[in-house]
């Protein structure tokens, strides 16, 4: 089974975001970048599927972006992914153009099982798995918390409001991983050493037009700190009064 996992390189979730001088993107100075948290579940699931299918199964990590993304690809390699592909484009941020680049690569390499995080925690558009699948005419299930593949048949559970949907479909498929799908493994020292010998192939990302045009970026309005009403339960009646009479929410 030829398995791919798409990974993105994003600011650490602890980052305090500052708007950059262009007023359209964040100021990258002082920002630590990490593997997109949802992609860790995607990587783990890809590795589990490789173990399940055995034989000459292989997992390739693909990332769209700049040289800096190699750090994230390298982490995937250290977890056990076999090789990496960097599709280079410094300025690609819109979901459609990223999906185009991924779809072109997935098609040319003949992958039939593809994992992504359900969303990247930078632009939070949560569209790339579905869009890429559509461009390839693959099936797709997103927000997946449980997965089983038997022959050609794919059964997945996806998180929805108030429960889970059981979804059936067929290969080839793109799976958008949600937290809870598995427990991502840590890279072992041996894995980290081995990853240094693994190959990251670099090529230009397939060209594509960008549909989304960012006009400006700003910080959300700061919330004014409110009132501390007290330090014990004697403040409770006043709290309830304010919620009823001032906020009118209960």
Partner 1 sequence: MANKILAILEQRDNKLKRSAFEAVSTAVKLAGELNLEGEAVVIGADIENISEAGKYGITKITHFKNDQLSNYSTSAYTKIICNYARETGAAYIVIAGTSLGKDLAPHISGRLIAGCLMDCTSLDASSGEVIATRPVYAGKALIEVKLNSEVKILVLRPNVFKAEVIDENASPNIVTINIDDPDLRTRVTDIKKSEGKLDVAEADIIVSGGRGLKAPENFHLVEELADVLGAAVGASRAVVDAGWRDHREQVGQTGKTVSPSLYVACGISGAIQHLAGMSSSKYIVAINKDKDAPIFNVADYGIAGDIFEVLPALTEEIKKIKS
Residues 204-243 that bind partner 1 (CB under 8 A): 209-220, 223, 225-233, 235-237, 239-240, 242-243
Would you count residue 29 as binding partner 1 (CB under 8 A)? no
Candidates 51-59, 83-91, 173-181, 189-197; binding stretch for partner 1 (CB under 8 A): 173-181
For 81-101, letters b (16+ CB in 10 Å) and e give bbbbbbbbbeebbbbbbbbbb
Candidates 50-58, 74-82, 83-91, 178-186; binding stretch for partner 1 (CB under 8 A): 178-186
Would you count residue 245 as binding partner 1 (CB under 8 A)? no
Would you count residue 102 as binding partner 1 (CB under 8 A)? no
Question: What are the phi and psi torsion angles at 235 (to 5°)?
Answer: -85, -10
Candidates 42-50, 59-67, 94-102, 191-199; binding stretch for partner 1 (CB under 8 A): 94-102
Q: Which is nearer to partner 1, 130 or 195 (CB)?
A: 130
Would you count residue 21 as binding partner 1 (CB under 8 A)? no
Would you count residue 185 as binding partner 1 (CB under 8 A)? no
Would you count residue 22 as binding partner 1 (CB under 8 A)? no
Q: Are residues 69 and 86 in contact, defined by beta-carbon separation less than 8 angstroms?
A: yes
Q: Can you tell me which of 127, 147, 149, 205 binds partner 1, judged by CB under 8 A?
A: 127
In the complex, the smallest distance separating the C-beta of residue 55 from partner 1, rounded to whole angstroms, is 27
In the complex, the smallest distance separating the C-beta of residue 114 from partner 1, rounded to whole angstroms, is 14
Rounded to whole angstroms, how far apart are CA atoms 233 and 246?
20
Rounded to whole angstroms, how far apart are CA atoms 10 and 13?
8
Q: Are residues 93 and 123 in contact, defined by beta-carbon separation less than 8 angstroms?
A: yes
Q: Which is nearer to partner 1, 55 or 163 (CB)?
A: 163
C-alpha distance from residue 166 to each of 39, 169, 194 (Å): 22, 10, 38
How many residues of this chain bind partner 1 (CB under 8 A)?
86
Enter the tokens of residue 214.
Answer: 């960012």
Candidates 15-23, 46-54, 76-84, 189-197; binding stretch for partner 1 (CB under 8 A): 15-23
Enter the tokens of residue 76.
Answer: 């995937």
- Chain mean position to CA 87: 16
Q: Can you tell me which of 121, 192, 200, 206 binds partner 1, judged by CB under 8 A?
A: 121
Around Cβ 193, how many Cβ atoms within 10 Å? Answer: 11
> DSSP label at 226?
-
In the complex, the smallest distance separating the C-beta of residue 12 from partner 1, rounded to whole angstroms, is 10
Q: Are residues 142 and 129 in contact, defined by beta-carbon separation less than 8 angstroms?
A: yes
């Amino acid at each position: 089974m030829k398995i791919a996992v798409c990974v993105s390189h994003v600011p650490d979730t602890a980052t305090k975001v500052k708007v950059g001088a262009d007023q359209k993107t964040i100021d990258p100075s002082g920002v630590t970048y990490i593997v997109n948290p949802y992609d860790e579940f995607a990587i783990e699931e890809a590795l589990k599927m490789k173990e399940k299918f055995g034989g000459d199964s292989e997992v390739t990590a693909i990332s769209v972006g700049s040289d800096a993304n190699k750090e994230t690809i390298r982490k995937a390699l250290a977890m056990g992914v076999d090789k990496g592909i960097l599709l280079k484009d410094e300025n690609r941020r819109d979901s459609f153009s990223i999906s185009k680049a991924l779809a072109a690569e997935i098609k040319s390499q003949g992958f039939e099982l593809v994992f992504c995080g359900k969303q990247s925690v930078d632009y939070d558009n949560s569209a790339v798995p579905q869009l890429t699948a559509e461009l390839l005419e693959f099936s797709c299930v997103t927000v997946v918390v449980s997965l089983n593949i038997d022959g050609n048949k794919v059964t997945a559970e996806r998180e929805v409001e108030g429960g889970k949907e059981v979804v059936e479909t067929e290969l080839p498929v793109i799976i958008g991983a949600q937290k809870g799908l598995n427990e991502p493994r840590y890279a072992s020292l041996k894995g980290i050493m081995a990853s240094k010998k693994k190959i990251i192939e670099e090529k230009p990302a397939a060209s594509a037009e960008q549909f989304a045009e960012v006009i400006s970026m700003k910080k959300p309005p700061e919330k004014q700190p409110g009132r501390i009403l007290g330090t014990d339960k004697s403040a409770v009646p006043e709290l309830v009064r304010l919620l009823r009479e001032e906020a009118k929410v209960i």
